[in-house]
Chain A
């Protein structure tokens, strides 16, 4: 099957899914699908660094967590009617999603800029490990920082609002998240085709060649890493809103690992790789979890099978190799 048709089928499926779930009277399936869509968004963020830039980051949980805590901190202050700070100027909390999203993306982008500036001096396995180190630093910080709940995390009693939408109902919130995901996918597509994306891709394959035409690979990568972090941060804010809860688990290395698994499972550098990966992973988790207490064994065996026998991820398995490679 052609990859483009496959992508179209995935989009159609995601759009049609809530209608089917409502018709079946299974509103929980919409919540589950929302989870998949949000995790796919986190994967889309990682895919910009990983797929386009070749930057294997095992620390994207840092940005996911920062996005989550941006939501948690703003909303908890708003629900307690306590300003975040009064001096030198007043900052109030908020329950408005658009404002939260902007703050989450800015905070995550700033963190990605700082972490990237330090980490991108290294490459290969060292890069994997230094990003992991920064993720772990934030994880332990979040656990032992008492102001916002420490390991207990923060509960938000009512989901934040979006103008003109009842976000409390599963279907509208799903639609909102899906729209954000599609916009992010469009952005990824645009970036990949832009001069910036082409230079980034060239820098991934041959840094020396890019340098000879006067472009510093370091700067390209830093920009890609920052954009990537911002998108994953946005996913973190949505994830927190889905659960109405944030906790340091969002910062853990297992979270970084899972986001990476979505991307690899679907297919690295494929536009829809993270989407397919997240949907399949969440489906498996939901379905296998009911089969046995020891369902991790089956999950592990399936993942292993995909790596060993489906090179290029699931999309590669269906659509054949090629695509972006």
Chain B
């Protein structure tokens, strides 16, 4: 195996990780500020992809589709927050799990009812299709390269938002001490709606971006949701920095595991059996990573509280 292949796979891992970060950022914000476990976060991801597919199909503009996906998911997030989520902040995690589980059922079948049972079409815009040659001779898809760029830009924007703006101050204060910030006269319920909509919008954006290179179908949100939970738990719940590092760690582990584990098994068994055994261990690799991190640091890498 060449170094070139390894480098390309590392890029793939990075790209996968950066997309996971868009999902995980919203989850970890909502958990950090409101103390809420939101299983329906994956549904907002799905919603983003569906809206993008419909808008791109109707207008032919991919950028318009992205904006629509972000807006629709943020809007749906705000609506759900005001109708349902708001009543769950002072409940324990169990009620939150059940209520957001119910939301998944409603969202998934509602989407199928509205858009039908067959996958939708959403494609990469022509100006981003095809590969580009990177220094070092790696042929890499331009679209994936832009995904890395968009993801890192969002990470930077989030960092600036939280460290430099008035909203950021409130978010940090809310995460540190919820009663205090209410006592200081901040309209806490509006803050919560804004934070929830922000997280939802990011999930919708991720869904639209990833939808262009995957299948836009009902149920696409749940596998990503589980991965996003793995990410925020590894990174430490409530920490944006943790989410970014956790996401990249998960992305690299998953991608490189799929490449290297079958090769490692090949040294001790024949290639067909090694392919199967290696794939089996690779599919468990991120969960093994997560269990190992938690056994080593029970509150994740950058977590403050449990």
The answer to whether A and B touch in the complex, with CB atoms under 8 Å apart, is yes
A-to-B contact residues, CB < 8 Å: 50, 56, 58, 118-119, 121-126, 128-130, 132-134, 136-137, 140-141, 143-146, 253, 257, 260-261, 264-265, 268, 294-297, 299-304, 306-308, 311
Interface range for B: 35 or more
Q: Say yes or no: A122-B294 contact (C-beta < 8 A), given A56-B94, A308-B84.
A: yes
Max chain B C-beta neighbours (<10 A), residue from A124, A126, A302: A126
Q: Say yes or no: A300-B102 contact (C-beta < 8 A), given A125-B237, A132-B226, A307-B95.
A: yes
Bound form: Cα–Cα A123–B294 in Å: 10
Partner of B104, one of A121, A137, A144, A300: A300
* One of B126-134, B150-158, B284-292 at the interface: B284-292
Is B283 a contact of A144 with CB atoms below 8 Å?
yes
Is A125 a contact of B280 with CB atoms below 8 Å?
no
Q: Say yes or no: A264-B95 contact (C-beta < 8 A), given A137-B287, A304-B106.
A: yes
Is A264 a contact of B288 with CB atoms below 8 Å?
no
Is B106 a contact of A297 with CB atoms below 8 Å?
yes
Residue numbers in B under 8 Å from A121 (CB-CB) = 294-295, 298
Asked if B233 is at the interface of the complex by the 8 Å CB criterion, the answer is yes
Q: Say yes or no: A136-B99 contact (C-beta < 8 A), given A118-B295, A125-B31.
A: no
Is A125 a contact of B93 with CB atoms below 8 Å?
yes
Is B283 a contact of A129 with CB atoms below 8 Å?
no
**Shortest beta-carbon distance, B29 to chain A, in Å?**
14
Residue numbers in B under 8 Å from A56 (CB-CB) = 93-94, 97
**Shortest beta-carbon distance, A231 to chain B, in Å?**
19
**Shortest beta-carbon distance, B292 to chain A, in Å?**
10
Q: Known pairs A129-B294, A264-B94, A294-B112; list 4 more (Cβ under 8 Å).
A: A143-B280, A144-B280, A299-B105, A300-B102
Q: Say yes or no: A128-B93 contact (C-beta < 8 A), given A303-B102, A304-B84, A308-B84.
A: yes
Q: Say yes or no: A136-B226 contact (C-beta < 8 A), given A125-B37, A141-B280.
A: yes
Bound form: Cα–Cα A268–B283 in Å: 34
Q: Which 6 A-B pairs have the closest CB atoms?
A: A300-B105, A144-B280, A303-B102, A300-B106, A124-B306, A296-B109
Asked if B87 is at the interface of the complex by the 8 Å CB criterion, the answer is yes
* Chain B, Cβ-Cβ closest to A142: B280
* Chain B, Cβ-Cβ closest to A135: B287
Chain B stretch 255-299: residues in CB contact (< 8 A) with chain A: 276, 279-280, 283-284, 287-288, 290-291, 294-295, 298-299
Is A307 a contact of B233 with CB atoms below 8 Å?
no
Bound form: Cα–Cα A277–B49 in Å: 35
**Shortest beta-carbon distance, A137 to chain B, in Å?**
5
Q: Say yes or no: A308-B299 contact (C-beta < 8 A), given A140-B284, A141-B284.
A: no
Q: Say yes or no: A129-B94 contact (C-beta < 8 A), given A136-B284, A300-B102.
A: no
* SS of A interface (majority): helix
Is B93 a contact of A300 with CB atoms below 8 Å?
no
Is B230 a contact of A297 with CB atoms below 8 Å?
no
Residue numbers in B under 8 Å from A302 (CB-CB) = 102
Bound form: Cα–Cα A303–B106 in Å: 10
Bound form: Cα–Cα A118–B102 in Å: 30
Is A303 a contact of B294 with CB atoms below 8 Å?
no
**Shortest beta-carbon distance, B291 to chain A, in Å?**
5
Asked if B101 is at the interface of the complex by the 8 Å CB criterion, the answer is yes
Q: List 10 A-B pairs, Cβ < 8 Å.
A: A56-B93, A125-B37, A125-B306, A130-B233, A137-B284, A144-B276, A261-B101, A299-B102, A303-B99, A307-B88
Bound form: Cα–Cα A297–B300 in Å: 36
Is B109 a contact of A297 with CB atoms below 8 Å?
yes
**Shortest beta-carbon distance, A235 to chain B, in Å?**
20
Is B291 a contact of A303 with CB atoms below 8 Å?
no
Asked if B229 is at the interface of the complex by the 8 Å CB criterion, the answer is yes
Bound form: Cα–Cα A129–B226 in Å: 9
Asked if B108 is at the interface of the complex by the 8 Å CB criterion, the answer is yes
Bound form: Cα–Cα A268–B88 in Å: 16
Asked if B110 is at the interface of the complex by the 8 Å CB criterion, the answer is yes
Asked if B142 is at the interface of the complex by the 8 Å CB criterion, the answer is no
Asked if B98 is at the interface of the complex by the 8 Å CB criterion, the answer is yes
Is B95 a contact of A133 with CB atoms below 8 Å?
no
Bound form: Cα–Cα A137–B292 in Å: 13
**Shortest beta-carbon distance, A228 to chain B, in Å?**
15
Is A134 a contact of B93 with CB atoms below 8 Å?
no
Is A297 a contact of B110 with CB atoms below 8 Å?
yes
Residue numbers in A under 8 Å from B118 (CB-CB) = none
Bound form: Cα–Cα A143–B284 in Å: 11
Partner of B299, one of A126, A141, A301, A306: A126
**Shortest beta-carbon distance, A107 to chain B, in Å?**
19
Is A303 a contact of B287 with CB atoms below 8 Å?
no
Is A304 a contact of B99 with CB atoms below 8 Å?
yes
Residue numbers in A under 8 Å from B97 (CB-CB) = 56, 58, 257, 260, 264
Residue numbers in B under 8 Å from A261 (CB-CB) = 98, 101
Bound form: Cα–Cα A113–B98 in Å: 27
Residue numbers in B under 8 Å from A304 (CB-CB) = 84, 99, 102-103, 106
* Chain A, Cβ-Cβ closest to B113: A294
Is A294 a contact of B295 with CB atoms below 8 Å?
no
